[in-house]
Amino acid sequence: MNGNFSSINILVFIVALLFSVGFHEAMHAFTAHWLGDTTAADQGRLTLNPLKHLDLYTSIILPIILILSHLPPFFAAKPVPFNPARVKYDEFGAALIGVAGPLTNFALAVLGALFLRGIGGQLSVGITDAVQTFVLINVALFVFNMIPFPPLDGSRLLYALAPEPVQDIMFRIESAGFMAIIVFILIFMTTGLGTAIVNVDNAIFRFLVGR
């Protein structure tokens, strides 16, 4: 992919991110509703409208600043609320809600990659770059959100599988709220974790698009 960030590149990035994060969060809400919890629907989150799910600072401004600074991007939207007590299948239902978002992003990445493999050679460079950006954003959302660190989506899957002592530790981390997110961002930015995640993103991207 082209490493230059023109105003067009940034516009494509924003549009792709809006679409991708909107679908990600909507699938959390749809899955929760399917499992019997109407909390998200009651708060107007049962929608594909990305504006209902995005946070201006953590969903748009922060990732753009990080990318322009040549740092690994961090994406975050407003969490979709759900009531575990109203969800079918207890912890496994909550796990389904958690993984629904990242798996949606992976499915979108696969669709974009199949599009490139199918007719990519007939497209202009600009359109090809835009679709590649879309694929990479969705791969990044999938990989990052599957990290089993509260409150990321992957933690819901770990909750369902981990023994009670591990669940207690995770609950304490998640109870820290925004501070837990700040700590994770610092770990993400200052250790090899960010580089490792980017390497995984790039490996999956190359596998999907055949490069």
Name the catalytic one among 25, 91, 164, 174: 25
Say if residues 142 and 106 touch (Cβ distance below 8 Å).
yes
Residue 174 is a catalytic residue:
no
Nearest to 134 by CA among 112, 167, 107, 156: 112
Concatenated DSSP letters for the chain?
Answer: ------HHHHHHHHHHHHHHHHHHHHHHHHHHHHTT--HHHHTT-SSS-GGGT--IIIIIIHHHHHHHTTS------PPPP--GGGSTTHHHHHHHHHHHHHHHHHHHHHHHHHHHHHHGGGS-HHHHHHHHHHHHHHHHHHHHHTS-STTSTHHHHHHHHS-HHHHHHHHHHHHTTHHHHHHHHHHHHHSTHHHHHHHHHHHHHHHHHT-
173: buried, middle or exposed (CB in 10 Å: 19+, 13-18, 0-12)?
A: middle
Active site residues: 25
